[in-house]
Amino acid sequence: MGGREAARRRIGPGEGISFREALGKRVLILGDVGRGKSRLTAELLREAIDLGYSNEIAVIDLSPDVRLPSGEIVGAPLTRYVAIGPPIKYLRPSRVRAPRLEGRDRDEVLRLAEENARAISAIFREYLREGPRGILFINDVSLHLHRGELGLLILVLSEADTSILNGYCGSRLSEDKGSGISERERALMGDLADRMDLILEMG
């Protein structure tokens, strides 16, 4: 993986790509909170199912599913938008936290990020142990980048012919209470983007 410069495409409201266009590629969907990253990912998953690829699909859903004081949902799971059942392999940690939103101070933000890293890494290893699929969807990969190992994520991606991921990239969650996870997230998201074929930026 790597060695190529990814194509970038800005996606406006109601726009997207087809699953056929994503097939055989590594696609990263980026955007701020509420831009429709999970919804677009779910639309691509639904299209893949409709095209008969269910036996080849794995979904790793890492969304925290947190409601802001405004009522806005941050990190909705893909199951909110599309029915996911056998034969699709669906993996999700028993609990994922939103460190920047839930942590009251630096230490708590780091503790929650570490808890996420352990839970997500366990899911990644379970996926590798049970046998990867040719088509992989990962919802909210940013949560892993707070404290998790990029190398483990790259290993997971290397096992799939088609990878469709989404992750946070924006300003609304930049405040991390001095924990440094936002800076690490930005840096590793850049490293991850360097390994993609196509980057969709949700405008």
Cα–Cα distance measured from residue 37 to residue 172, given in angstroms and rounded to the nearest whole number: 15
User: Is the CB of residue 166 less than 8 Å from the CB of residue 28?
Assistant: yes
User: Is the CB of residue 58 less than 8 Å from the CB of residue 135?
Assistant: yes
Q: pLDDT tens digits, residue range 80-118?
A: 999 999 999 999 999 999 899 889 999 999 999 999 999
Return the pLDDT at 8: 86
**Distance (Å) of CA 191 to CA 67, 150, 157:** 29, 9, 14
Dihedral, CA of residue 124, residue 130, residue 135 and residue 137, to nearest 10: -30
- For residue 1, pLDDT over 60 is answered with no
pTM score above 0.95: no
User: Is the CB of residue 37 less than 8 Å from the CB of residue 202?
Assistant: yes
